[in-house]
Chain A
């Protein structure tokens, strides 16, 4: 049996399993070897659970042998961002305040993955409470970009993106509140899909900003993204913000995607996504894609999303307001970290317990956002901040609605820059916040968005090294089928994975 099964996609592994050319155990062993080799350099995982993985693989192999209940994720080893609850497993959200928190229940996403008999490889690193764009805000470790170990993988799903990019899993589940799946996917050269708000249940996903959070998938290619989405999408009676959308056979639809679909398709290019701050090399990569699309028969339409210039400011009011409330439950009373008297002085009463537990339990970025959000909601400021932000959000929604009256999909860069150096932006939160300038408005408008690798730029700090560039594709509400098909056609043309010049990992 070939040793580098870990390089394959979920789609490819599925064929091997189905044809009994490999067992889930074979695939798992290949991943375990790869993880032991490469993860010490990348630090994508917070922890692995190979015993659990072996049990899962054995169970999957039995099912496959019996010939029943086979799904595209059966026997496939996946990593999970440490923001999803898994019964009996540690879930920290990369925060000290949830150190040693063992979840007593399964998130809906994980419940569905278990029903598909997936193989659980381990939990991946993230920015604490998903707050960040580099994974440097993790309380536990710094994850590195597989293309350059001195650079960040992006965030907050940086561990997930790095684990897919470095072939430390077949695919990974992350979450995207303002770009947390798409931006790290772009920086690590993988596919990242954030579906329409309400398509995947949030039940059992630790909340950062309830009206913006959405689970997403990070995968080696577009077909895998479609497979993974299909396995977890759908209405959940435990999450009243999920919708009764029709869950389509995304993988089947993607399989049929043909370049002829591009003929006459209207592709919007928002002028606001090519403003100052965009790395010119990334700009020219996106222009190449524009040319490619024209060649395939698509119409390129210049459009404007005038109010998206407010999206970063808008996002940091709405997201921090909701976060300030969502994080109130971490009070040291029922679970998680509680400040102990012997750890120091100052806990004479209940207020002291709250203050000390939260002071020691939360990291700086989380505290900064709790303070921002508390301010934005407080009496006397509510109208000027939270209320106004809600109105601006409506304008942004309308911008997109108007745009989708003229075009079928919108494209642009995912991130204004390629992966930056570790430590480069940690002292300047504002410049860090701008990493998500092109992704944030998609969350504000509840729309589906996808990032896919479309090439590389030279790595200025590493001789002969390259850094991936992500193309962002945005489609109308609940049109994941269109989004994925469009991306698949581009993928077939660009052939990112097959191109040795693109895939130059630093491992």
Chain B
């Protein structure tokens, strides 16, 4: 808790997000997680002598997509640069990144805070390659270069964030956009979405920024907030006890919920950035940018707003429907094909209450949605009363499993609701004949036996009887009896 009110924190976030490309950023090795160590490698990503990088335009496309969605200006010309340092997981001894002239700069992202919407400015988004991984077993270290050369974007915010919860809100919004666009899988635990936080504190009103510490190794949303909270408190304590915050890199320890200083040696890096001479400048044509622009889907926040205002859904329903891009799309197709016959609110309920829970039960089986037209046929069957809602659920499950149409399932399983008056009349008569005593009691005032007869009628029709009709006709029978006409 930032309990000292005379201080404010200034936070900037650097997010690294892997890109969901088929191949690595500068070679044609597959970009897949979980292969046998050192099997997704080639001369380029192993940094063999003489190998040269080749730009993967699928990666550029995803980076530009993210930039456009984050309102960041896309630069028509950008440069790749080398960041030089030695480490066994970095085969070339340098990382290809962008330094001066990144692919995209100057943008913003709006986040929700306790005090309303807040604009967080984004300094830049640039493309770079990931390093490999070191695996330590006993006192031996092994290098796995499958991840070496996989594409990343680094997104650097301006220090516009003032609290740990704002930081979390920013990260959540950023992640949501990247996942929604298919740019990233946003998996923090697996390291495909990583965040470093630059944190400093100053007395409120002080125009001067305090010295910042960089907090690394924060690998879940929960920890981002905790790590930043801890760091703010630590720095306030340092200042209050008369000390000075030093510029350093600190690692977050989630077990003890503290940040720890890394050894000073790591600080002395001079990366000797210079323009990558193996790659020409990255020139993006207007056609390329507008092609990416056209492929952008409506972002979840905007979509949510539209569902509430245009479709009159509740905030909650809109939120559920927009969480998954495919589901939102399905909902919209459903609305279009429905053409106003069934209320939109009812369509939303069918998805939220029935379809999503069926899909959830099938998780892991590989999702395949039924055609919107088939789903509408089912919804219409229920809403018009030709089958009841419970039968509808059974039909839906069968449709999802077999891929059959609603009509086929209903016919095959003989599930059509009995709603013709004559058929129900007969069944009720049968039930009365078989249960004369109970019927006499009902007439005699034992109202709760009404349910008993409804149940009997449903039993006889194996649940296919339209309950509304059963109620009506049973009621009619009681009245007729009372008035002595039966």
Contact = CB atoms under 8 A, between A and B. Distances in A.
Interface in A338-396: 350, 354, 374, 377-379, 382, 386
Interface stretch (A145-153, A325-333, A408-416): A325-333
Given A325-B84, A379-B270, A202 B52 contact: yes
A237 B27 CA distance: 11
Interface stretch (B8-16, B165-173, B274-282, B421-429): B274-282
B43 interface: yes
Given A105-B43, A241-B278, A354-B86, A85 B91 contact: no
A204 interface: yes
A240 B88 contact: no
Nearest to A85: B50
B84 A328 contact: yes
Contacts of B54: 237-238, 240
B440 interface: no
B132 to A, nearest CB: 10
Given A105-B43, A331-B86, A378-B270, A325 B91 contact: no
A447 interface: no
Nearest to B145: A334
Contact of A91 (B49, B55, B86, B143): B49
Contacts of A245: none
B82 A325 contact: yes
B272 A374 contact: yes
- On chain A, which size bracket covers the interface? 35 or more
B49 A203 contact: no
The B interface is mostly helix, strand or loop, or mixed, namely loop
A239 B86 contact: no
Contacts of A464: none
B32 interface: no
B66 to A, nearest CB: 23
Interface in B39-86: 43, 46-55, 82, 84, 86
- Which among A85, A98, A101 has the highest number of chain B CB atoms within 10 Å? A85
Contacts of A203: 50-52
Interface in A173-228: 202-207, 209-211
B94 A328 contact: yes
A238 B52 contact: yes
A504 B82 CA distance: 49
Contacts of B94: 325, 328
B50 A204 contact: yes
Contacts of A202: 50, 52
B274 A334 contact: no
Contact of A206 (B49, B82, B274): B49
B49 A98 contact: yes
Given A241-B278, A325-B94, A93 B88 contact: no
B37 interface: no
B92 interface: yes
Contact of A331 (B48, B93, B277, B279): B93
B277 A210 contact: yes
B96 to A, nearest CB: 11
A177 B92 CA distance: 21
Contact of A328 (B43, B46, B93): B93
Given A331-B86, A334-B91, A379-B270, A240 B55 contact: yes
- Which among B52, B54, B91, B93 has the highest number of chain A CB atoms within 10 Å? B52
B93 A325 contact: yes
A240 B279 contact: yes
A47 interface: no
A107 interface: yes
B92 A329 contact: yes
Contacts of B143: 333-334
Nearest to B85: A328
Contacts of A91: 49
A443 to B, nearest CB: 13
A291 B55 CA distance: 51
Contact of A240 (B43, B48, B52, B93): B52
Task: State the 4 A-B residue pairs at the shortest beta-carbon distance, nearest first.
Answer: A328-B93, A210-B277, A377-B272, A211-B277
Given A85-B50, A374-B272, 19 more contacts: A93-B49, A98-B49, A101-B49, A103-B50, A202-B50, A204-B50, A204-B51, A210-B277, A210-B278, A211-B277, A238-B54, A328-B92, A329-B91, A334-B47, A334-B91, A354-B86, A377-B274, A382-B272, A382-B274
Interface of A: 84-85, 91, 93, 98, 101, 103-105, 107, 202-207, 209-211, 237-241, 321-322, 324-325, 327-329, 331, 333-335, 350, 354, 374, 377-379, 382, 386
19 contacts: A85-B48, A105-B43, A105-B48, A202-B52, A206-B50, A211-B277, A238-B52, A240-B279, A322-B277, A324-B272, A325-B94, A328-B84, A328-B86, A328-B92, A329-B47, A329-B92, A331-B88, A331-B93, A333-B143
